[in-house]
A and B are shown apart, each in its own frame.
Chain A
Amino acid sequence: GAVVSQHPSRVICKSGTSVKIECRSLDFQATTMFWYRQFPKQSLMLMATSNEGSKATYEQGVEKDKFLINHASLTLSTLTVTSAHPEDSSFYICSASRKGQGSGELFFGEGSRLTVL
């Protein structure tokens, strides 16, 4: 099956620092990767959609200068939370759409829990 790896799974950082989260499709090429944020006991909130080699499309209300997304290859997308603050503490999840696969079949990473002190 398709595997999406997310790293790190947990990260704790000080306020004001930047944190990078990686999302890799291990056994398939991902044309599109999605980044979500999930608050406790709530559903996934789509933050942005990224296609390999192009700029990410951000959802309304998501600060693109704060949440930098890079999709450098068909197997890797990164989310950088810049100048993190405690309110950025959350569970961040990526998903990937397999190249050539039917729409809607997304494969999710295990998530990264960010805690900003």
Chain B
Amino acid sequence: QKEVEQDPGPLSVPEGAIVSLNCTYSNSAFQYFMWYRQYSRKGPELLMYTYSSGNKEDGRFTAQVDKSSKYISLFIRDSQPSDSATYLCAMHNNNDMRFGAGTRLTVKP
């Protein structure tokens, strides 16, 4: 079993749709949870960063962490074509950091 599982997609949605991206993990020691967005041939950029369980909202983006279920989510409201990218989940516990495989999202106008 991989430490971090993320469905690679591809995921295609119409403009304006709500997008739900998810990751599960196995190491309960992870405490910091991040979502990165990566456009083609570019380095990842940090979208959301949360510590422990709970929700965090930033504009159209909401990150949720459920440590009891070892499950994290990223929701994108009112999705735009410019949101088309690969979204990587990542988690960290000071000593170890792991990335998900990334989900390729396409938002069609």
- A binding-site residues for B, Cβ under 8 Å: 4, 6, 34, 41-44, 46, 91, 93, 95, 102-111, 113
Contact = CB atoms under 8 A, between A and B. Distances in A.
A104 B45 contact: no
Contact of A105 (B41, B42, B46, B101): B46
A38 to B, nearest CB: 9
A93 B92 contact: no
B34 interface: yes
Contacts of A91: 41
- Decide if the interface of chain B is mainly helix, strand, loop or mixed: strand
Interface of B: 6, 8, 31-34, 36, 41-46, 49, 51, 88, 90-92, 94, 97, 99-102, 104
- Decide if the interface of chain A is mainly helix, strand, loop or mixed: strand
Contact of A102 (B32, B91, B99): B32
A10 to B, nearest CB: 9
Q: Which of A34, A103, A104 has the most CB of B within 10 A?
A: A104
Given A43-B88, A43-B102, A110-B43, A105 B49 contact: yes
B88 A104 contact: no
Q: Which of B88, B92, B97, B99 has the most CB of A within 10 A?
A: B97
A108 B94 contact: no
16 contacts: A34-B97, A93-B43, A102-B32, A103-B31, A103-B32, A104-B92, A104-B97, A105-B34, A105-B46, A106-B34, A106-B97, A108-B45, A108-B46, A110-B42, A110-B43, A111-B42
